[in-house]
A and B are shown apart, each in its own frame.
Chain A
Amino acid sequence: MQKYSVFSLVKNALSNHENWDLAWKDPTPKKEYDVVIIGGGGHGLATAYYLAKEHNITNVAIIEKGWIGGGNVGRNTTIIRSNYMHDDNALFSEFGMDLWRRMSQDLNYNVMFSPRGIINLAHSDAQMNTYARRGNSMRLNGIDAVLLNREEVREIIPMADFSENVRFPIFGGLMQPSAGTARHDAVAWGYARQADDMGVDIIQNCEVIGFDVSAGKINGVRTSRGDIKAKKIGLCVAGSTNILAEKLNMTLPIETHLLQACVSEPVKPVLDKVVTFGAGHFYISQSDKGEMVMGGDLDGYNSYAQRGNLPTLQHVLTEGIAMMPFLSKLKMLRTWGGIMDMSMDGSPIIDKTHIEGLYLNCGWCYGGFKATPASGWTFAHTIAQDRVHELNAGYSLNRFNTGHLLDEKGLGTKTWIS
């Protein structure tokens, strides 16, 4: 594989950039693989990469119905953070933060990781207390957290509404300085390029039609491009999890819901942090191109549509304007939607299943993108060793049965309620 560097850039410039290698191949599926990963999103690509890199398992196929990076990894608001209170979430996410910090070097691909910091705004004394508690929990787990008062927040984000007569005055905020953003497409492409180089077959336009299961064991998968045998299969399909689960006669603690995001027209640099509104559900950052990248609530009903409705967008942007009034002057450039695998406690599932050789990775709710490296790393471990790693031990499928829920936000089973 050609290494990307300033030298290769200069060298290829001399030939008008016509001789770059393909970043990944377009192979015809083989009859059999050691491991098949279903879903060519960020998590699936990362899983294949870590299977090859950490476990030396390279006879691997990624099967993708559409094209790689066309789902949620290309539809999110690119936020990366580990500001969780519960140990299982905090340690898992912070492990991921280390992978994010090294990712551009590891993948030889500039993922534009920008640890610019995230601020969760508080709008009441009670919320400040809650944030103090969460910040303390984070620090106990080695994650950086800073509790900011109103004046400290004002210094960092003076464009927010600090006037006296607002419905939700800013009391302060909780900041994780090491959080940030990354170029989401680059993450998918970087993992794909390295995985392909190590021998992984990335098979696009290949839809799963069914599974070959006998005597409680998985033997393979039936696809639109023929049958593929594999003793180990990993499901990594986010919002489509229930569609595949139905083919396996499994019913999961997952509902598929719609989440929208949007960007404004590009403007000059105004915001160098990720900021979330604490009295509702709204988050914002500014992209390198200058667009304000925004998102918020789910549309609130089961959906596979990958496109949303205006009432939710209006509601979300009303919160945004309440927080930063200058947003009302901006034109909207683009809106889009993605389908979220909402789990019943708001936390993901990375586990084995009752079918031998079938592994499950789902339930990422709103937080899938930032988890990409840690999810891939732990899922690869779970598949390769046929046992969960301590980092994803809390993300078990049977926690709903045993009562060991990971209800970070205290939302109960209806995590789609906004």
Chain B
Amino acid sequence: MLHIKCPHCGLRSQNEFSYGGDATVKRPELGKEISDKDWDNFVYNRKSLRGKHWELWQHLSGCRQWIKVQRDTATHEIFKTLKANEEIS
């Protein structure tokens, strides 16, 4: 069982959360010319790192906020959590 520290609610069990994927993927800017390659990278291509991985989770059965979580994909250890609008340092 993962225990995720929601920045709004505190430590909660994994059951309350749903997963949203890689948090470092940025949507190409609106209104700008986008190359096919950039669009591919945004929609399909993922690094899927082994080790520390920043990812989005939603506290679905709690405050319903999206949050950022830094988790090790090999050990499942969670290092840090951030609010959705906080930048990954």
B40 and A254 contacting across the interface, CB-CB below 8 Å: no
B46 and A304 contacting across the interface, CB-CB below 8 Å: no
B44 to chain A, nearest CB (A): 4
Q: B residues within 8 A CB of A253?
A: 40, 44-46
Q: Mark A289-321, 1 if CB is under 8 A from B, else 0.
A: 000000000001111110001110000000000
B21 and A310 contacting across the interface, CB-CB below 8 Å: no
Q: B residues within 8 A CB of A302?
A: 21-22, 48-49, 53, 55, 73
B44 and A256 contacting across the interface, CB-CB below 8 Å: no
- Give residues 245-273 of A contacting B (CB, 8 Å): 246, 251-256
Sort chain A's interface into a size bin.
Answer: 20 to 34
B19 and A301 contacting across the interface, CB-CB below 8 Å: yes
Q: Mark B41-68, 1 if CB is under 8 A from A, else 0.
A: 1011111111001010000000000000
Whether A242 sits at the interface, judged by CB under 8 Å, is: yes
| Cα distance A302–B41 in the bound complex, in angstroms | 18
Whether B15 sits at the interface, judged by CB under 8 Å, is: yes
User: Which of A251, A304, A310, A413 meets B74, CB within 8 Å?
Assistant: A304
Knowing A309-B14, A311-B15 touch, does A413 contact B44 (C-beta < 8 A)? Answer: yes
B65 to chain A, nearest CB (A): 18
Residue of B with least CB distance to A414: B21
A253 to chain B, nearest CB (A): 4
| Cα distance A257–B46 in the bound complex, in angstroms | 12
Whether B87 sits at the interface, judged by CB under 8 Å, is: no
Residue of B with least CB distance to A308: B76
Q: A residues within 8 A CB of B19?
A: 300-301, 416
Q: B residues within 8 A CB of A311?
A: 1, 13-15
User: Which of B1, B43, B48, B49 meets A309, CB within 8 Å?
Assistant: B1
Other A-B pairs, 4, CB within 8 Å; known A303-B73, A414-B21: A251-B41, A305-B73, A400-B45, A401-B36
Residues of B within 8 A of A (CB): 1-2, 13-15, 18-19, 21-22, 36, 40-41, 43-50, 53, 55, 71, 73-76
Which 8 A-B residue pairs are closest in the complex by CB-CB distance? Answer: A253-B44, A242-B48, A251-B45, A400-B44, A301-B19, A255-B48, A344-B44, A304-B50
